[in-house]
Amino acid sequence: MRPLCKGSMRGAAVAALTLAAGIVRAALPEPIDLASLDEVPAPSASAVWDAVPMQPVAAHRRPEPRFYVTGLLGQSFVTLDDPVYESIFERRINRSVLTSGGAAGVAVERWNGLLRLEVEGRGRDDVTAALSESLGPFGGADFRWAANDGWSALVNVWRDFTVTDQVDLYLGGGVGGGGYRYALDADISLFGVPLITAASRAQVAAFAWQLGGGAVWNVSDRLAFDVGYRFFSIDQANTTYDLSLGGTPLPSMLMPQQYTASELLFGLRLYEPFRNWR
């Protein structure tokens, strides 16, 4: 065998190295192009926070107006200013009677509670008083007063202020009309013979107003329980008294009457009562 020359050995070594480098290069993974990262925009802080839902604590409240109805029941501490009663007893007629009714309105969300506009109608039980006094063998005196079928129809504005998610406080009032049926019968007799008689029948209707406030417990987003106080007043009205002396008619007289009341009311309010009918 003829020995290889140095030039042939050098060429074989270069060829072997070239083949090995190709094998190694084929086994390596593709290089990562870090320059492409410069084209990816970095997320801004505002974009991150925009993706996070930020809801208020009282998220159950709704910005659109909501219709509601309220049932009302309570106690009315009525004061009736009657000149005949006051001239005898030197005080006014004071009675505690039941009052009930209802209201319908619209509630609008405000920055810290609700603004409510409503129409309210209520009735009140009869207010009565009587005096039966014996004058011994000479005769007697009999007086009967009544303010029956008390009623009121008012337009109210209430402002609710949020205390917690479930508790509100409110203030407001209303104006409208109110009335009652007034009756007086008086009879003073001597020795069985009528001496003085007086009678009055009047259907009183006059301007009425109320002011009040209270607290609301929001049982849910549709149901609320209300406890409140109201001062209610019907403007003074004149009633006609028909008088007679010994059976002889006398000229009639006009006497002023005034009806006021301090009232404790309980209400149950339902928002969107017809939602399930849609």
* Structural domains present in the chain: 66-277 (2.40.160.20)
Q: What is the pLDDT of residue 231?
A: 98
Q: What is the DSSP string of 128-182?
A: EEEEEEE-GGGEEEEEEEEEEEEEEEEEEEEEEEESSSSEEEEEEEEEEEEEEEE
The three-point CA angle 112-118-119 to 5° equals: 165
pLDDT at 266 > cutoff 90:
yes
Q: Are 207 and 177 in contact (CB under 8 A)?
A: yes
Mean pLDDT of 139-167: 95
- Strands 223-245 and 93-110 come out as unpaired
Query: First-to-last CA distance in the chain?
Result: 108
Q: Tell me the residue length of the chain.
A: 278
Lowest mean pLDDT among 3-7, 68-72, 169-173, 236-240: 3-7
Phi, psi of 263, deg, nearest 5: -130, 135
